Amino acid sequence: MVKALNGVRVLDLTHAYSGPFATMHLADHGAEVIKIEVPNKGDQTRTWGPMKNNSSGYFAYINRNKKGITLNLKSEKGKKIFLDLVKESDVVCENFRVGTMEKLGLGYEVLKEVNPKVVYASISGFGLNNSYSKKPAYDIIAQALGGIISVTGFKDRQVKVGPAIADNYSGTYLALAVAMALYKKEITGEGSFINVSMVDTIFSILEFSVIDYTIGEVIPEPEANRDPKIAPFDAFEASDGMFVLACGTDNFFHILCDEMGKTELKTDSRFNTNMNRVNNYNELKEIIQNWAKQYTVSEVEGILDGVGIPFGKINNIKEACNFEPIIKDNMLWEIFDEAIGEKVIVPGTPIKFKDTEDGPKNCAPTLGKDTDDVLNKILGINSGQIAELRKDGVI
């Protein structure tokens, strides 16, 4: 079956999470992604847990479907090999600190001379042209400076969003940008330079928070699980656990009032419009909470599902892994990982193409696994020359 990115070759210089997550998307959908790592060292995530048989499940997850080579880009021979590969490739991805590629003599202007159609795709912490540009960044730094921690958690205790969303959103944005640039290249014949900033990414997903400030001069604060613009839209406690419900319309709220036996709330001036419910939410939450505590989560689910009100039990990760829509959508991929030496189960891709195979093709590469094959088949370097390169520490 032909996947969307079949025939696209990507040189992947990325490490840690954001960049490898981007190239994972490309590899999952057919691109030939060649992951380039430092000889005898490799990506830092090869040491990140969970570990099994001295190998990383984390690395196995975000580097599936990729080829792997080692190459010393600080050596002149290594740089030449890299530039020769650029000539034969469509995309170069990197997420080094700003200025690193230029310091190596491998910046965009150099690569463009070698291959004018190349798509150069990078992720930075803070963008390219400001006083923060060359500072190091991880997800938690971007979450803090981008503003999302300030609106997450509780008023007296701000917290980061659990997963590394600055990384995975930036990676997904970059994969989208690569697809756009490849389309542009088909039309114009021109390559592109793309940068996605992790701080920009966080800022872009703040939803109403930015316009609350820019339009209303309000600085939003954390609201725990509630939505500050819609009510009721929150988490509640049943007798045996937590659930969420979402009444995004007056009609949903009226149905909820009927089910709670509180029909008078429909015309109560505190609650008769969405904004009135938002402005008087503490009183409304107490009413709903007192009703919910009479029932188990399962009983609440039966009541609300029966009348079509959006409802969700708060699943832990085990429950999420066994949730029917996750299973039915093939969101758990089983792969035999060569480094771990057994099958592992990792999250699949949420991007589904009808009539296209949805599953892993290859496991993540062991360090340098495909070096000989890539150098020989793409660049025509013979086994004797490869042995010499290995002896010199180039690969």
DSSP state of 48: P
Q: Please, which residues have CB within 8 angstroms of residue 129's CB and are 6 or more apart in sequence?
A: none
Q: Which residue type is seen at 65?
A: N
Helix pair 371-379, 76-87: axis angle to 10 deg? 60
Q: How many CB atoms lie within 10 A of CB 63?
A: 27
**CA neighbor of 119 nearest in space, from 189, 30, 197, 25:** 189
Cα-based distances in Å from 369 to 69, 188, 223: 6, 36, 49
Per the structure block, which two tokens stand in for 137? 């960044």
66 strand-pairing partners? 33
Cα-based distances in Å from 23 to 12, 36, 246, 291, 377: 7, 12, 35, 48, 22
Cα-based distances in Å from 270 to 51, 65, 226, 277, 289: 54, 55, 18, 6, 17
Q: Beta-strand (E) ranges in 198-303?
A: 233-237, 242-246
Q: For the purposes of burial, counting CB atoms within 10 Å of the CB of 76, is it exposed (0-12), middle (13-18) or buried (19 or more)?
A: exposed
**CA neighbor of 378 nearest in space, from 3, 5, 11:** 11
Per the structure block, which two tokens stand in for 266? 């429909």
Sign, CA dihedral 128-133-134-135, equals negative
Q: Is 139 a catalytic residue?
A: no
Interatomic CA distance for residues 28 and 43, integer angstroms: 19
Cα-based distances in Å from 310 to 256, 285, 387: 11, 17, 62
Pairing status of strand 32-37 against strand 66-70 = parallel
Catalytic residue among 43, 139, 167, 337: 167
Termini Cα distance of the chain: 34
Q: Which residues are catalytic?
A: 167
